[in-house]
Amino acid sequence: MTSNLPLLPTSVIGSYAWPAWLHTALAAAQRGEYGPDDMLETQNDAVDLALRDQDDAGVDIITDGEMRRVGFFTAEFYGHMTGLIELPPRRKVGVVGHDQREGYEATAPVEAPAGLGLVQEFEYARTRTATPLKVPCPGPFTLAGRIRPGSIYKDRIDVAYALAAIINRELKALVQAGVTFIQLDEPSYAVHSRAGAPEEFVKLFNTAVDGVNAKIGLHLCFGNFVGRPVAKRTYRPLFPYILDVRADQLALEFANREMAELDLWREFASEKELAAGVVDVKNYYVETPADVAERIRRVLEVAPAEKVTLTPDCGFSQTARWASRAKLKALVDGTKIVRAELTGT
Ligand SMILES: [Zn+2]
């Protein structure tokens, strides 16, 4: 899939901003006003818009915007799993935050008899754009974060290995369906990067992608739910261990931290590609193309252009759509400036 890509391809992390009507449609659906066909049509339309916005901006590798993964109403991935009971959020009022999300507890070994829905997502998106597609999937450690082990599992890592088996099957099904680029999202690695943990994360990741014959990316960030991070904003504890993951590309956020820690990429030499976050999804200041170009030039001080992809820091699901559109355009236009400097085109 990479053969026709330009130098310094642009891409996204995964989720995309919701159109206004999707909020009201989901509220209506929650009140019982939508049947399954209404819901399917709504979600298809939402995917169409996400693809269209990315294509309009001229992004080189896009996703379906994760528009079907819309929070508790569709229960995200957990709705596909058996062996779980839902636990209500511990806090229900006041400022929005991570602690207002529902959790789960394992009451039986967790399984996903019909898969996680990613194949269906891809199959629809593939018919709606000719642009190369990447399929993002939450990683097992992040997904395990909302599942209490109960009496079934020993701890969170134990839950994560059960999920890694489910994810591994899903990823192989994606490859079977024609997917050539898969990205696992593991914001929780940086949150829990205490001593010994990064080595365990590598083992877990490699289990999840074992035998998956596609280009593999790993997205690491500091959390983005309601635009709030949940970790110290440093990748350092993960290095150099994280370079042992069986991934071709690491997708890291930099823009939000004014490009801090880029030097890690120089300090720990790696053959891996770097997908560098050069647009801040948590900031309503819309970068100019010149801002983006400046950030890219800094990335190129630590990584060769042939190994660099440019992305926003994280998904756009927590960013207003008008800002997301403007930021995608700035990403593409800023990249064009630097591409022209490098290639003279
Ligand atoms: Zn992220």
Q: How confident is the model at residue 3 (pLDDT cuts 50, 70, 90)?
A: low
Q: Tell me, in angstroms, the distance from the centre of ligand 1 to residue 9's CA.
A: 19
Query: Which pLDDT tens digit goes with each residue over 27-74?
Result: 999 899 999 999 999 999 999 999 999 999 999 999 999 999 875 444
Q: State yes or no: pLDDT of 248 exceeds 80.
A: yes
CA 325 to chain centre: 18
Q: Tell me, in angstroms, the distance from the centre of ligand 1 to residue 11's CA.
A: 13
* Residue 9 falls inside a structural domain: no
For the ranges 84-98, 102-116, 144-158, 235-249, the lowest mean pLDDT is seen at: 84-98
Q: State yes or no: pLDDT of 220 exceeds 80.
A: yes
* Residue 219 falls inside a structural domain: yes
Q: State yes or no: pLDDT of 243 exceeds 90.
A: yes
* Residue 4 falls inside a structural domain: no
Q: Tell me, in angstroms, the distance from the centre of ligand 1 to residue 35's CA.
A: 32
Per-residue confidence (pLDDT) for residue 98, from 0 to 100: 84
Q: Tell me, in angstroms, the distance from the centre of ligand 1 to residue 220's CA.
A: 6
Q: Tell me, in angstroms, the distance from the centre of ligand 1 to residue 304's CA.
A: 23
Identity of the residue numbered 321? R
Is the separation of the CB atoms in 241 and 207 below 8 Å?
no
Number of domains in the chain: 1
Q: Tell me, in angstroms, the distance from the centre of ligand 1 to residue 31's CA.
A: 31
* Residue 224 falls inside a structural domain: yes
Q: Tell me, in angstroms, the distance from the centre of ligand 1 to residue 310's CA.
A: 14
Which CATH number covers residue 279?
3.20.20.210
* Residue 328 falls inside a structural domain: yes
Question: Which residues are placed with Cβ below 5 angstroms of ligand 1, an ion?
Answer: 221, 314
Range of the domain at 131: 20-343
